[in-house]
Amino acid sequence: MLPIYPRITSVSALPQYRLDIGFADGTRGVVDCSHLILRPDPGVFASLRDPAEFAKVYVNPESRTVTWPNELDLDPDVLYARAHSIPIPDE
């Protein structure tokens, strides 16, 4: 289990399914989401293969994580760990 890291304050979509994410502690990082979207069976992530849909990412004001209009979101603690090269248990 990951510790609770600072929440997300900003996000913008980058080419190749990457996100530029800002965090409440003033740090930022780039997270590659292509492993979720480009896998053979992307499941709920299939709609994000369209770069225009991927670019609709925003910070949900309640959960303070990245979200898309279809209410698809990603775990903010995993995003912080990935953005800061912190190992994720059981991965």
Instruction: Give me the mean pLDDT over the 59-69 stretch.
Output: 96
Q: What is the structure's pLDDT at 70?
A: 87
State the alpha helices, DSSP H only, in the chain: 34-37, 51-54, 76-83
Can you say whether the dihedral through the CA atoms of 12, 14, 18, 21 is positive or negative?
Answer: negative
Compute the distance between CA of residue 2 and CA of residue 41 in angstroms, rounded to an integer: 26
Give this prediction's pTM.
Answer: 0.92
Asked if CATH classification 3.30.70.1070 holds for the domain at 8-83, the reply, yes or no, is: no
Average pLDDT across the chain, whole number: 94
Q: What is the structure's pLDDT at 63?
A: 93
Residue-wise burial string across 70-81, b where 16 or more C-beta atoms lie within 10 A, e elsewhere: eeeebebbbbbb
Looking at the predicted structure, is the pLDDT value of residue 91 above 70? no
* pLDDT tens for each residue of 22-56: 999 999 999 999 999 999 999 999 999 999 999 99
Q: What is the structure's pLDDT at 72?
A: 95
